[in-house]
Structure 1
Amino acid sequence: MSEEQAEQLMQQMQMLETYFSDLSQREGTFYSILREATAAIESIQSLGKIPESETLVPIGMGTFIPTKISSNSKIILNIGAGVAVEKDFPSAINYLEARIKEIEVALQDTAAKKQDAASRLEQGKAQMNQMMQAMQQPKSG
């Protein structure tokens, strides 16, 4: 393997490592969104069971205002692009469950891409090891 090929392989490995890192970060974000959506569903379900409850509303910098929630079975749901809609509890739960399914699909896709990148990284490392061994062996001639 020539020096030029070795350099190309190193660049490919660096790009793959960056790609793998990006995929891992994306996967972490998806898991975070998944936990948030699940928690939202659980909160909506508990609000439906308790007609009135007390809670703390964050106003910034670790400061909270105690308030009462009077459940009238309506919730405001951010659907993206700065748009929020009012939905009843079952509709809000259905919307969030649909989002969870989308996130699960994205997670599966990301996991498959991560697996592919990991196997390509392993192949690259094996090639690098072979190249290093070939360079260390004395040439007979």
Structure 2
Amino acid sequence: MDVPNSLLEEAKRREIDIVDLLSKALGVDPPSRASAHLKLARRFLEEGEALVEKDPIQASEKLYKAAEEAVKALAVALGLEEAEKAEEQGRWTTTLLFTAVDKISRSEGEEFKLWWKSAWFLHVEGFHVARLTTEQVRDEVNPVVKCAVLY
């Protein structure tokens, strides 16, 4: 079944996390939910890396989304309360993401927080403000790759 783009766009506009929404509706177990987030992280990472030279603005957002999905995957896999709250709400807030990053970095190492900060920098300066050059975006790819795929 194909989901109409209008529904997907409305969910995106409302910042509804489709993975969490469907997982809750279908009663999907946490390992499967974490796996779904990780698959999205890898997809966004590939798309972002492919766009760095062509469109640094879109590359910045895709790379950020890769890190965001990695955080969600880890939060679910580690059983963090932030993942439970996001599932209940049907969306991840910035506060939930940053709190999850703090907890993950305590268990996985402070480098995780630094990698997340690179992704956040891309999200804000590269996408929202659109003031990063291709070279500046390229410089942040490796930290995001580590955040998105090492865990």
TM over 0.5: no
Structure with max Cα Rg: 1
| Bigger proportion of residues as strand | 1
> TM-score, with normalisation over the residues of structure 1?
0.31
| Bigger proportion of residues as helix | 2
> TM-score, with normalisation over the residues of structure 2?
0.29
